[in-house]
Amino acid sequence: MRDFHLPGRSTVYADNGMCAASHPLAASVAIDILKRGGNAMDAAIAGALVLGYCEPAMTGIGGDCFALWSPAGSGEVRALNGSGRAPAAASAAALREAGHATVPLEDPAAVTIPGAIDAFCHLAETEGKLGLDAILAPAIHYAEHGVPVAPRVAFDFAQDGPKLTKHGQSHLNAGVLYTLGERFRLPGQAEVLRRVARDGRDAFYTGEVADDMVSTLKRLGGVHTAEDFSANAPTPTDPVSGMYKGVELLEHPPNGQGATAILMLNMMAQMDLASLDPFGAERVHLEAEISKLAYDARNRILADADHTTRLQDMLSPDFAARLVALISPDKVIDRPAAVAEAVHKDTITLSVVDRDRMSVAMIYSIFHGFGSGIASDKFGILFQNRGAGFTLAEGHPNEMAGGKRPMHTIIPGMLRVNGQVTMPFGVMGGQYQPAGHARLVSNLVDHGMDLQAAIDAPRSFADPEALMLERGYGEDVRAGLTALGHKIDTPAVPIGGAQAIRIRADGVLEGGSDPRKDGIALGY
């Protein structure tokens, strides 16, 4: 239990239904949908779409979606891949010839076909109860009338908004960045959603809306065509999973990076993390070394599902053991790719639970802050830059090519115990997400934290340049990690943002929402 003398927030408890989301309006919309007779899928879609206007730097209808869900009364977990593909004419060779070593972030070359609307329409039809018209109504209202800019959103505008000044005028306030409390609105997108509510996915992927997206991208040098948009379709698939001390973690298969979280937990299972100080230097060091090796494996292996040939390595405890053997408790791995080379030669959110205990974990994103920074000319659809998830390395399974899906960072997650789903969750934060999943599970399982405390706990992440430590760690931890050889940096932006709902054995729901965002968990 938290110390009530100190600032913080309590875990939320409820019986009938719950939503944990990164903005209060999205959570309240989801709860309203549940109260009106919608199920968890209806509520998740409605809440996610509203987040596009509450948190425009993070998500929007020009992005992608992944969903995991468990039908009411079932321990089964299903998955839908709502990520878009590169246009048919996309070419890594052409970008290499133009002098690029990586896919440029703020360029049409990074824009893959937006997959989220297709996924939402599919899920509403196959799993929802209320129908598109009712589900889209809240998002249409907020797109039309606006949402006051919240504190974290104002921070995001200041941090990432300058890219909008080139090609994202629809997301500016008379040419300047939105600031705290100003009403952000996108009436052009309200019209798009009205058409989708009336005519379904074809209103987005064909006709005037698609023409607007294609013509904008072509004007800026893109190779996108109307056929690329009309051919888009989500892919139903089966989750992958791994066990950690009696708890099963379920993740999306490739092109998502969820298998990386499973690999990390397989590595962590071979260490006695439960005996360590949860906020101490030793745990941070070991998790940093685990993540370096697991992410190196991710970068070598994961790609479009049709091009991923070594997925079983990512899920194998034996493979994890061989990586763990490379880790020293008192020495930093400086070059994980070189250290792990011998091993590899052998062979990239919102949670809702309803009254009937249908559970949904959904993540919906435009990748970098404000995506590519490019918005369509007429309707103001801001494009993701998911194409930056491709590599330009010739012959790599994740090499950019027409019609391929890039390796994707967004990963919804679910926990299951003895065949029963116990927690839909997500940990946003781009590359951090697998590490965030593994750390959240460890906080719960190894250290017995309650859900909100597990989310609140300070975070670290070993990125390619430095070991990122949030300010929640003490100076003694920083000194200890420096002594081990880590280069320490304090990120300007807090690491990630988690949303989770735990279903207790007695049926009571526990909700946690990350204080690093403006959000909340609400139940009724």
DSSP per-residue codes, 217-277 = HHHTT----HHHHHT---EEE--EEEEETTEEEEEPPTTBSHHHHHHHHHHHTTS-GGGS-
Q: In what order do the strands lie in the sheet with 247-251?
A: 12-14, 509-513, 497-503, 420-428, 412-417, 247-251, 240-244
Judged against a pLDDT cut of 70, whether residue 83 lies above it is answered with yes
The one-letter amino acid at 474? G
Distance CA 204, CA 196 (A): 7
Q: What is the mean pLDDT of residues 442-467?
A: 95
Least confident of 6-10, 75-79, 277-281: 6-10
Q: What is the mean pLDDT of residues 90-97?
A: 97
- Would you put residue 485 in left (φ > 0), alpha (ψ -120 to 50) or beta? left
φ/ψ of 14, rounded to 5, equals -160, 165
Summary mean pLDDT of the chain: 95
pLDDT of residue 338: 59
pLDDT of residue 335: 73
Where residue 169 falls among pLDDT bands split at 50, 70, 90? very high
As a whole-number percent, the residues of the chain with pLDDT over 70 amount to 98
* pTM of the complete model: 0.95
pLDDT of residue 334: 76
End-to-end CA distance of the chain: 22
Distance CA 233, CA 405 (A): 12
Where residue 348 falls among pLDDT bands split at 50, 70, 90? very low
Where residue 347 falls among pLDDT bands split at 50, 70, 90? very low
Q: What is the mean pLDDT of residues 135-151?
A: 98
Where residue 343 falls among pLDDT bands split at 50, 70, 90? low
Judged against a pLDDT cut of 50, whether residue 344 lies above it is answered with no
φ/ψ of 13, rounded to 5, equals -120, 140
Where residue 339 falls among pLDDT bands split at 50, 70, 90? low
Specify whether the CB–CB gap between 370 and 172 falls below 8 A.
no
The closest of 7, 9, 54, 8 to 27, measured between CA atoms, is 54
As a whole-number percent, the residues of the chain with pLDDT over 90 amount to 92
Q: What is the mean pLDDT of residues 270-296?
A: 96
DSSP per-residue codes, 63-112 = SEEEEEEE-TT----EEEEE-----TT-BHHHHHHTT-SS--TTSGGG-P
Which burial class, exposed, middle or buried, applies to 183 when counting CB atoms under 10 A from its CB (0-12, 13-18, 19+)? exposed
Judged against a pLDDT cut of 80, whether residue 259 lies above it is answered with yes
Distance CA 63, CA 113 (A): 8
User: Measuring CA to CA, how many Å separate 115 from each of 275, 327, 500?
Assistant: 44, 39, 24
Where residue 410 falls among pLDDT bands split at 50, 70, 90? confident
DSSP per-residue codes, 434-472 = HHHHHHHHHHHHTT---HHHHHHS--EEE-SS-EEE-TT
Judged against a pLDDT cut of 90, whether residue 340 lies above it is answered with no
Q: What is the mean pLDDT of residues 381-393?
A: 96
The closest of 148, 33, 44, 22 to 520, measured between CA atoms, is 22
Q: Give 517's DSSP letter.
A: S
pLDDT of residue 12: 97
Q: Which two tokens stand for residue 42?
A: 């209806």
Q: What is the mean pLDDT of residues 344-363?
A: 82
The pLDDT tens digits of the residues spanning 307-321 come to 999 999 999 999 999
Which residues, 6 or more positions from 316, have their beta carbon under 8 angstroms from its beta carbon? 266
Which residues, 6 or more positions from 338, have their beta carbon under 8 angstroms from its beta carbon? none
Distance CA 308, CA 91 (A): 19
Where residue 515 falls among pLDDT bands split at 50, 70, 90? very high
Judged against a pLDDT cut of 90, whether residue 464 lies above it is answered with no
Please report the beta strands in 306-392, taking only residues with DSSP state E, as ranges in sequence order: 350-353, 359-365
Q: Which two tokens stand for residue 102?
A: 């990586």
Which residues, 6 or more positions from 98, have their beta carbon under 8 angstroms from its beta carbon? none
Which residues, 6 or more positions from 230, have their beta carbon under 8 angstroms from its beta carbon? 205, 206, 210
Q: What is the mean pLDDT of residues 221-227?
A: 98
